[in-house]
Structure formats: structure tokens, C-alpha cells
Structure 1
Amino acid sequence: MSDKHMNLTECPTREEYPRPQFVRKEWMNLNGIWDFEMDFGKSGIDRKLYEGEGFTKKILVPFCPESSLSGINYKDFMNMVWYKREFIVDKVTEKRTLLHFQAVDYHTTLWLNGKKIGEHKGGYTPFTFDITAFITEGVNLITLCAKDDPREKFQPRGKQSGQYYSAGCDYTRTTGIWQTVWLEFVSESYLKEVKYYPNAAEGLLNVSGYVEGPIKGLSLTAEAFYQGKAMGRTEAVIQGKEVNISIPLNEKHLWMPGKPELYDLKFTLSKEEVIIDEVESYFGLRDISYDQEGVRINGELIYQRLVLDQGFYPDGIYTAPSEEALKKDIELSMEMGFNGARLHQKVFEPAYLYWADHLGYLVWGEYASWGVDMTDLSAVNVFLPEWMEAVSRDFNSTALVGWCPFNETWDKNGFWIADGKYMYGTRQEDSILKLIYDVTKALDGNRPVIDTSGNFHVVTDIFDIHDYEQDGEAFAKRFEPMNNGGETYVTFADRQSYEGQAYFVSEYGGIWWSDEERDGWGYGQRPASREEFLERYRILTTTLLKNKRVSGFCYTQLYDVEQEMNGLYTYGRKAKFDPALIKEINMQKAAIEE
């Protein structure tokens, strides 16, 4: 650890507003230096750590204790950790005080002034406690316990390693708080959430809102602006907790990939003509549809030139060192000619989606499904609640083009080949995938849903495969029949079948290249030179671009992550190749664009 090696007061604290698409002026950032304790014996409750005594370390929130930025830098398993922080209330008012946690991995229990407030399970989505009844004038004490064991049967861990060391496709773990902690101050009645349903064809925005608290005498006003110019206004009397309104727009400015036109929004909640709540937001006017050819934005077929983004950082692990670093990853990707990313095995920070919206960068919303035993129906009880929270949190993102709750749902004990045939362990429970697909479609009927990326599909709007073949000729041979109206290439054809959907190669490449002299890996044999790398990249990518049936690709991956050295950038985000050379290949006209 720690304190003698790092001055925590000089480290970044992530001071930006943590919920950029739903902004209020009255809030307090609680990031910064907290007291911290590792509880290896899980005895903290017995020792009454929630009362605030017994803490021996300091940590910089919101960085996880495994990270160097946290000041702890402890890489071994920590199955239980504790946090403590004080805040001061000058005067207790009639305002409600909401305590928000953007993400804590995994099972959180919260105390305020020694009194238990509540719990939350799930390491990737925000949760809130109304602490109004528990705060006092003067000093208030927050204590938090986070239980986290990525080796448990039903704990979603994504790419966090279940072994002591990072290995293969798994990397350094994240325990406890890893996104912003903050206070928000609202009236007794306030606008709790909104959902946007843009209608680009008609030039209007439909809004579904939810009001918390008494509704008598309330009205809601919604105003839209484009570059400061008024675009539309609607007012409605609140008749129930849910309110549905439409804002006709005076002018249509369509959001498209690479052309991120956005409108600003302002919501005003009034009680008997007195303003009691104001929220600022934004949205993009765009329609999403999909058919056998691919995904369409505002009716235009978009070839998805995507890259796999794992969302890891050398110094912050799961947490970017700054908002600028989140934006920079998108810019680095676009510099190489990609127009979007699979946000892989992780629910990314809201600030990332903010910049995707503002830069016109397509993203697929995923979840950290690895670690959940998909052969047991009990997995639903763990997976579904947080997945629903993730869909709700990111529903309004303009850039989010589709959902993919699972990735490579391998059977327990995987598969092997015997006598020329695939042999499988305990198979995935297909009904889980169908249920999650159905729930996702019920929550969002507009975006396409891929049930499980790569394998094994049960019901999916887009048929995707993963193929890491490194031989360009062999790779092209697999897809060539599709280019001539022939049979569709399907991986694991004994387990999944193509049913006429748009076809998406959502993982390929992974070509290994590094100038660093250290242990690592990538897919296939490492190229002997930069020229050989670029030629391999060209052949693989051009094969997909020029196939009339392929609607998009996703290259593995944007940057190296620890021992996995198949990124186009290093882990420190240094380009391995001239970005212009990669961009030239990626920006070739695709067959479906001709």
C-alpha cells in the first residue's frame, strides 16, 4: 500500500457530474479520501466497524483498492472491504437527501450514523438510498461494507480474474467502490426518471416520466432547444406517478454516426405554479430499425465498423483516471476508422456514453455475464435484476444501438473434440437466454437484442459469430459461399442455426503484436513484422467488408489489456501502427454500402 508511496491529495478525484443526461444543480461529490479496511475474516459486523472505529488505511474513492490510483494497490482477493466517510450538514431542511452510488462491486450494505440503511446486490449499476430521516445537523458518518467474491457460482465478474494472477482473457479484479459517490438534494416531490422515445420521422420526442412523492397540484413542463434556440415546449398536469408527454420539434436535426446532432432538454416540475424541481438533459433525434441487411439509423443502413473495448486502465483498472480518458478512448478508435464499439463484459461509466452520444460513436450495451453459471436456472435470480437496472440506466443513450446481455455462454467444462466431433460438458440452460431476451425486448422494443454473442444462440435479432482464424485464405474460404448466395457460415452448427437475420462478425482478428519484451499472448502465431501484421489485418478485414451478407464487424481489440497483447494500441494507449494505415483499411466501402 500506500500512503508512504503516494500522496492521495495529489491524485485525480473524478469531480465531474456523475449522471450527465439527468442533471440537477444541488449536489455534493463525496469522492476523495475515505477510511478503508480489508476484512479477510468477514468479522467486521461482529466488530461493529459500521460504528466507525477500527479503520487503519486510507483510500482514494472512486478507485478500487486493486488500483494504484486508490493508494492501496493490493492485488490479492479481498472478499470483504469497509469504507468510512464523514460529511457535514449545516442545517437540516425540508429537502430530501439522496445518497447515490454509481457502482460498488458487489454486495453493498450501508450504515449512516451507525444505523443500517439498506443493501444492494450487483457490481455494475447505480443505486440510491433516501437518507433524509437518518441525517442530523452537523457531522454525519457513512460506513459501507462491500462483499465481493468473483469465485462464487453466481456472481457476475466479467473479465475479472477468478485466479490469483490475471490469466488468458481475465484481468485484475475490482472490489468495492469504483464509481462516484454523491449526495443529491431534492424536494418532497421530484422527477425521479425519464425515458426518451424519439420519433425522427415525425420530428417529435415522446417522454415517459416518473414522479416520486405526492402528486397533488403538480405540473411538468418540458422544453427542447437546439444550439440555444427554442425547438418545442409541452406542459402536462400530473395525474399519476407516471406521466407521458410529447414534444413536437420546430426543426429536425437528425443524429447520425459521425454527425452527432443533439438537442438540449429542460424539465420543470411545479406545484401550484411554484418551481420545485428542475432537470437538464439532452437527446438525439434518431430512429433505430433492423432487418436482414443490418441495422438502420433513421432508415439508412449503417455498416458497423466496431472495435472491442474492454474498459480497463493501467492505473484505475475498471475506473478511468479522468473523464477525458473516457473521451480519448473513443477518439483513438475513431482515428483508426472505427465508428463504434462493443462495450465488452462490463457496464461502462455514464460519462463514456455521454461522449459516445456527443461524438457520434455507436455502442452495444453489454453486461459482465462471465462468472454466472448458465447451466443452473438459479442464475436468473442473480442476473436479471441488475441487467434490468443496466437497461434502465442506459436506455436514453442516443449512441447505444443494441443490447447483448451475454457473451460466449460456454457450457460448464467447455467443449472438446473426440473422433472428429464436438463433445460438450453440462449445457447452458437455454430457457435463461430466452427469458433474458424476452425481458429485454419488453423493456426496449426498438433496439435489436443479441441473446449471447458468439454462442450458443437461442433467440436473437442479429446472428453473430466469433472467429479468430488467422490464415487469411482459410478465413475468406469460410465466408465466400455467402457472397454467392450459398450456405451461411455458422460456428457450432450442431448447437445453433441461422434463421435469416442480419449477419454480424462480432469478434475476429486479435492479432498479436508487441514491441515490449514481456510475457503475453494474442490469437494465432505472432506476425514476424509490422508489414505482416498489417497485411493480415487487411485480408481479414477486407474479407468481411466485401461480403454482401456481412452487416458489420468488431475487431479484437482497441488496446492491450495486461497480458493480452492483441490491441491496436498499447495498454497505455500508444498506437502500435500508424492510425492512418488502419483507417485506410477500415474505411473501404463495404459491399452493403454499394
Structure 2
Amino acid sequence: MSAAPAPADLPVASRQDGSYPRPQMMRTAWADLDGTWSFRHDDADTGLADRWYAGLPDPREIRVPFPPESVASGIAEPGFHRVVWYARTITDADLAAAGRSADAPVVLLHFGAVDHRAQVWVDGRFAGEHEGGHTPFTLDVTALVGSDHDHGDDGGDGHLLVVRAEDDPHDLTLPRGKQDWHEDPHAIWYRRTTGIWQTVWLEAVPGTSIAHVRWLPTGPAAVDLTVLLRGRATPGTRLRAALRFDEHGADLGALDVDVPAEATSVHVAVPIARQRNGQAEDELTWSPERPRLVDAALSLHAADGTALDAVSSYLGLRTVGVDRGAFLLNGRPYDVRSVLNQGYWPDSHLAAPSRDALRREVELIKELGFTACRIHQKIEDPRFLYWADRLGLLVWGEAPGAYEFSPTAVHRLTREWMAAVDRDASHPCIVTWVPFNESWGIQHVADDPAQQAYSRALTDLTRALDPTRPVVSNDGWEQQNSDIVTVHDYEGDGAALARTYADAVAMERLLAGMGPAGRRILLDGAGHEGRPVMLTEFGGIAYQPGARRDDGWGYTAAADADDWIARITALYDAVRASGFLAGSCYTQLTDTLQETNGLLTDQREPKAPIERIRAAVLGPR
């Protein structure tokens, strides 16, 4: 019997509903473990000694994946709690929904993200652990959940799953992004997200299966495909891949290659037959204006032709780069019109309140007139990236920063950033990587050789992992080997901003001197010839329609809606008039706790008619 469905039975990845937690590698069966779990704080950190992994004493209820600091979780305790515990039962129904069978006996337990360190047990037996609060991990729990007829230690229906999460709010070596180390939010930092904050799910796979798929377009006529395997590839195993563009009903390319025995990965180039004629390139390329996605069916086959495993995926055929002061999309200059997005919700913090909220976030950004967003200090849920892929939105992927420079901080951020790039490199929406922001974690990079080496090394490491995208070495200032020169400038007067970014003479003055924040934009020896210059943070104008926060904060403030629109328009007029800016990023999309400088409220409502905001962003049309 074949363990893998026929390609025709696989879901169409480019037309999914946004619920699948790993949108670029879909199978037909999976079990969502989100919902009501048991929960305990462990402020005294006695849970391990007291064997809570065998069952939580006197638990409360929590709604996973919402962090316990949030209202949406049902716990709503935002204070300092370094250690927390979770528990729920994996039922026979969960295992059946995950697709466990004789053909798919390997049971995988997936965690989208647990901040920051997680330990996992099943029926009191240790299953594994992971460190990295923004990146996924997978545990093989086959031996712990037994066969179709086995049950937990108590003989009941199911297996007890227990998770211990540790997230020290005072440890500044942790990549934490905008999570505050003070008990209450201050300045530009927000309430913490501890523990599970992305989907937990089960999946059953064959003994030899596809573990990871990575697509990197190398031009209009080819795409590099890397497939990582789980389990042993026996002699004669073959990998097949077929690409299809349903809008034209066209089969674009296929391959059928031998998998070397005991291989852990397969790397091949997939030719795009339809693209060999250069005149047809624009019919398939992906862009915000035409977000065309190509569907892919991948399958593993034994030497006798038996299907071992099959997954569906998608990709976008597009290239990005920089040249002669321009940002290039598909080989042509493209004006990056971006907005800063914190990815934070008032009732659920870093976790989106629903899967539909992720789609709506992308729609709102586009409705406001933007072609891009910069996900700020967060590795975003892959389902947001799916909607950016499908609806057409450029994304800058940014590492959540630590706030201390030390060997421990270097190890932690490097490891987590590598995992993030690996997870997201296949998304066509991501066009730029940002490993550092405003010298966070490298506060003395201007004159410390060790911090300079770290910044250069992580930038080059990003290029080594993904040579197809530009990398911004340190967004805002104090850059060394950056592919894009970026500037943060919160000047509130449009006329003054226009003078700073007027022409080539102004550009040379800006880049040779101290930047708007009193920091050098380029460190000594860093050139900018041929590199685009972008204003990647500006605006930040506070405005509070209706009820007001006493602690409402922005870089400047508007008196009313008309004043607010006029100020935004003046700033964008300055950007549009610049003789050298290749892109911009407005701060910010939404109000976030005490920051009231969003274009939308924290509930995602526009502060003025959306047409007026859009007109300010786009200018005369």
C-alpha cells in the first residue's frame, strides 16, 4: 500500500485557507493542538524537583497559543514569571487526525514557537528540548505514544503532554526584540510574551519522509530546490517534483532524480520551461502588483515505484538585488514603500488573535498604499508570510535583538537567526534580511573591534545561508558591510526633511557626517558606491482620536486629524522629492501600548478615513 497520496489528492498550497502552520510544506493530515491546556506558574522553580512533568498540581486553564501575560490566554498576569508549565492530553482522535497509520507510523510533535527555552515530556518521559523563542522545533514522539492500541501510563485514553518553558525577563542576552525587561512597559518596549505563542500540532509521516523544502529562484528560468530528508533513503529512492501555474493551466517544469543512499538532503535545479523565452518572463514573475504563485508537488518513491511520501508546496519566481543606487525587483528598479509593523496585538501580544487577523494585517497594509512592511524585532508567524506571498507584499525579515554583547548573546542570536533564515528563505515576499537594528546588542560597534567583527560576520553569514537577498548589516546607523544604506530620521518638519534628502550633495553630506540620531551612518571604511539609500524609519507622529492615553507617546504629535494628515503628507512629499532615496519605511502601522504613533489604532481601525491616509502616503496620482 502507498503511504503517500497521489499528487492530485494533495492540497493546493497556493490556495490554502491560512490555517496550516507550515504553509510551504503541506500534507493532507495534521492535528491542531491549540485550545485549552492546563497551566501553572512556577515562580519558585520547584516543578522539576516535584516531577510536574508527570502531571501539574492544581492547574489553571490557559488558551494556547496565547501567552500567559495576555488577556486572550485567560491568565492575564503580565508580571515577572520566569518559569511556566503547560499540560494537555494527546488523544487517540488527535493521533488519527494527524494521519497515524501503518504507512505513516512516525509521529512528529511540532511547536511553532516557545519563548524562550522549552522542555517537553510525554507520559512523564522526556521527549526533548529547544532554545530559541521565535523559531520552530520538532520532536519525534513515536516511541512515546506507542502504536494505535497503546495508551498512557494510567491506561486511559491518550498521552499526557507536558511543556516547561523558561524565559528570564532579566537576561539581556536573550534575543527578545521589543519585550520589556521592566515589569511595566516603558519608552518603546512592550509587555512580554512567555512560553507557547505559536501553534502546537501533530503530524504522522512515513519512515522515510520529506523534512524540509527550500526554494531559491536563481533567475527567471530556474529555481534551486533543496529537500531535507528524515529517515534513511534506501538505494533506488527517487525524488520527483512537478511545478504548475494554474492561472494559465500550465505545467512549468518537472524532475525525477535519484536520491543517493543514506542521503540527508537533495539539491537540484528545476528548469522553468515556459521561461526560456525571455519575452514570456513577465507572465510568471511574482511582485506586489502581480503576486503569482507557482504550485509544486514533491514526492519520494522507492526503487519499485511505491510512493513513500508526498507534500505540496509553492514558490514565487522573482529576483531581488541592488545596483547603481536602486533596489531591484525582477531586474528593474522598485520603489520600496514600506511601513514598520510591530506584529503586536493588545489582547494577545506577539500571538495573532486569529488566523484571519494575519490576512487582514496584510490587506490593511496594502489598502494604506504600501508595497512593503518591515516586521520589527520579531520572527513573524509563517501564516502571515503566506498571505504576504499570496496577496503581494514585500517583507523585510528582521532578527529580534538582544541587549547585551557577550559570547552567550552572540551564540544565542546567531543560532536563532540561522534557524529563522532557514525557515523563511522560500517565501517570495521576503526581499531583505536585517540581523541588527540600531546597534541593539552591539551598542559600542562604532569603536569596539569585537562588536564590529560580530556585525560583519553575522551579515556575511546571512549571505552565506541565502545569497539571493540583500542584507542590511545594522538598520539605522553604524553600518559596515551593508547591501543597503539605511537611515532613521524622526524629523517632524517636512521642509527640513526635504533639505536633508534633497539631492546627491545632501546625500554625501548625510553619509559623511553624523546622522540624524547623532550616530554615524557608515563606519570608517564602509563605502556606499552603487548601494541604494533608504529612509527606513521616519514619521512616528502621535495622534489619539477619541479616548486618550495619558502616557501616549510619539516622536512628534498632531493636534487633530487634519493636522495629522497634513504632517504625514509633508513628510511623504519630502521623501518623494528626494533625488536619491530608493525606499522608505514609515513608523508605524498601529498604535502599540503606550506608543500612539500608528496609522491605525491598536484595534486596527484607521485614525482617519483610510482614503485620506492612502492619499498622504501615495501623493498626487
TM beyond 0.5: yes
User: Which amino acid is the alignment partner of residue 258 of structure 2?
Assistant: V
Residue segments in structure 1 that go unaligned for 5+ positions in a row: 1-13, 416-423
Partners of 1:468 and 1:510 within 8 A in 2: yes
Check if 1:51 corresponds to 2:54.
yes
Structure with more of its chain in strand, by fraction: 1
Q: For residues 494 and 27 of structure 1, do their structure 2 counterparts lie closer, same or farther at Cα, with a shift above 3 Å needed? A: closer
Check if 1:580 corresponds to 2:611.
yes
Check if 1:361 corresponds to 2:393.
yes
Q: For the residues of structure 2 that align with 1:460 and 1:413, how far apart are their CA atoms?
A: 17
Q: What is the TM-score of this pair, normalised by structure 2?
A: 0.87
Q: For residues 114 and 156 of structure 1, do their structure 2 counterparts lie closer, same or farther at Cα, with a shift above 3 Å needed? A: same
Find 2:180's aligned residue among 158, 161, 170. 161
Q: How does 1:507-546 map to 2 (within 5 A)?
A: 507-515=537-545, 516-546=547-577
User: Which amino acid is the alignment partner of residue 595 of structure 2?
Assistant: E
Q: What is the TM-score of this pair, normalised by structure 1?
A: 0.91
User: Which amino acid is the alignment partner of residue 226 of structure 2?
Assistant: S
Find 1:212's aligned residue among 219, 224, 230. 230
The Cα shift of 1:561 comes to 0.5
Find 1:251's aligned residue among 274, 280, 285. 274
Partners of 1:104 and 1:178 within 8 A in 2: yes
Q: For residues 495 and 275 of structure 1, do their structure 2 counterparts lie closer, same or farther at Cα, with a shift above 3 Å needed? A: closer
User: Which amino acid is the alignment partner of residue 241 of structure 1?
Assistant: T
User: Which amino acid is the alignment partner of residue 571 of structure 1?
Assistant: D
Q: For residues 208 and 305 of structure 1, do their structure 2 counterparts lie closer, same or farther at Cα, with a shift above 3 Å needed? A: same
Name the residue aligned to 1:419: none
Name the residue aligned to 1:499: 528
Q: For the residues of structure 2 that align with 1:425 and 1:85, how far apart are their CA atoms?
A: 51
The Cα shift of 1:16 comes to 1.9
Name the residue aligned to 1:10: none
Partners of 2:396 and 2:431 within 8 A in 1: yes
Q: For the residues of structure 1 that align with 2:18 and 2:436, how far apart are their CA atoms?
A: 32
User: After the TM superposition, which of the residue ranges 479-488 and 58-67 deviates more from structure 2?
Assistant: 479-488
Name the residue aligned to 1:116: 126
Name the residue aligned to 1:76: 79
Q: For the residues of structure 1 that align with 2:308 and 2:476, how far apart are their CA atoms?
A: 49
Partners of 2:492 and 2:539 within 8 A in 1: yes
Name the residue aligned to 2:433: 403
Partners of 1:413 and 1:425 within 8 A in 2: no
Q: For the residues of structure 2 that align with 1:574 and 1:160, how far apart are their CA atoms?
A: 24
Q: For the residues of structure 1 that align with 2:597 and 2:117, how far apart are their CA atoms?
A: 33
Find 2:578's aligned residue among 547, 550, 553. 547
Q: For the residues of structure 2 that align with 1:142 and 1:528, how far apart are their CA atoms?
A: 53
User: Could you give the per-residue CA deviations for residues 377-421 of structure 1, whole angstroms, max 9, x where no partner exists?
Assistant: 432111111100000000000010010011111578889xxxxxx
Find 2:470's aligned residue among 448, 452, 465. 448
Name the residue aligned to 2:202: 183
Q: For the residues of structure 1 that align with 2:77 and 2:599, how far apart are their CA atoms?
A: 29
The Cα shift of 1:299 comes to 0.8
How many residue pairs were aligned?
566
Structure with more of its chain in helix, by fraction: 2
User: Which amino acid is the alignment partner of residue 422 of structure 2?
Assistant: S
Q: For residues 195 and 403 of structure 1, do their structure 2 counterparts lie closer, same or farther at Cα, with a shift above 3 Å needed? A: same
Q: For the residues of structure 1 that align with 2:560 and 2:325, how far apart are their CA atoms?
A: 37
Q: For residues 279 and 413 of structure 1, do their structure 2 counterparts lie closer, same or farther at Cα, with a shift above 3 Å needed? A: closer
The Cα shift of 1:175 comes to 0.5
The Cα shift of 1:473 comes to 2.4
The Cα shift of 1:554 comes to 0.1
Name the residue aligned to 2:457: 435
Q: For residues 413 and 503 of structure 1, do their structure 2 counterparts lie closer, same or farther at Cα, with a shift above 3 Å needed? A: closer
User: Which amino acid is the alignment partner of residue 210 of structure 1?
Assistant: L
Partners of 1:103 and 1:126 within 8 A in 2: yes
Q: For the residues of structure 1 that align with 2:472 and 2:596, how far apart are their CA atoms?
A: 27
Q: For the residues of structure 2 that align with 1:126 and 1:487, how far apart are their CA atoms?
A: 44
Q: For the residues of structure 2 that align with 1:494 and 1:209, how far apart are their CA atoms?
A: 40
Q: For residues 414 and 205 of structure 1, do their structure 2 counterparts lie closer, same or farther at Cα, with a shift above 3 Å needed? A: closer
Q: For residues 36 and 487 of structure 1, do their structure 2 counterparts lie closer, same or farther at Cα, with a shift above 3 Å needed? A: same
Residue segments in structure 2 that go unaligned for 5+ positions in a row: 1-16, 152-157, 276-283
CA RMSD of aligned residues (A): 2.3
Q: For the residues of structure 1 that align with 2:125 and 2:460, how far apart are their CA atoms?
A: 40
Q: For residues 411 and 176 of structure 1, do their structure 2 counterparts lie closer, same or farther at Cα, with a shift above 3 Å needed? A: closer
Name the residue aligned to 1:7: none
Identity of aligned residues (%): 34
The Cα shift of 1:482 comes to 2.9
